[in-house]
Amino acid sequence: MLVVGILLIVAVIAWIDLPRLWRKKQKKDLSVYLILLLIGTGLSIAEGLNWDIPNPMDWLIYVYRPVGEWIFHQL
């Protein structure tokens, strides 16, 4: 049900912009658009079904926590 709902929303969104992009034949615009739409759909479905998605914030914490701790230690 949830997947159907998300796909429906994506279909509405594609209906707004896709025909115009298709007609203009701007390959680069179209490919960036489709890639982003695909990522968005995949991410929404994965999040909606509670799959285990790698969290970019964990990577940021991994990189920046030592820096942050060092700064606060200095003060």
Q: CB 40 → another protein: shortest distance, Å?
A: 3
Q: Counting every residue, how long is the chain?
A: 75
Q: Give the tokens for residue 20.
A: 């115009």
Whole-number CA gyration radius for the chain = 19
Say whether residue 5 binds another protein (CB under 8 A). no
Q: In whole angstroms, what is the distance from residue 75 CA to residue 71 CA?
A: 7
Residues that bind another protein (CB under 8 A): 9-10, 13, 16-17, 20-21, 24, 26, 28-29, 32-33, 36-37, 39-41, 43-44, 46-47, 53, 55-57, 60-61, 64-65, 67-68, 71-72, 75
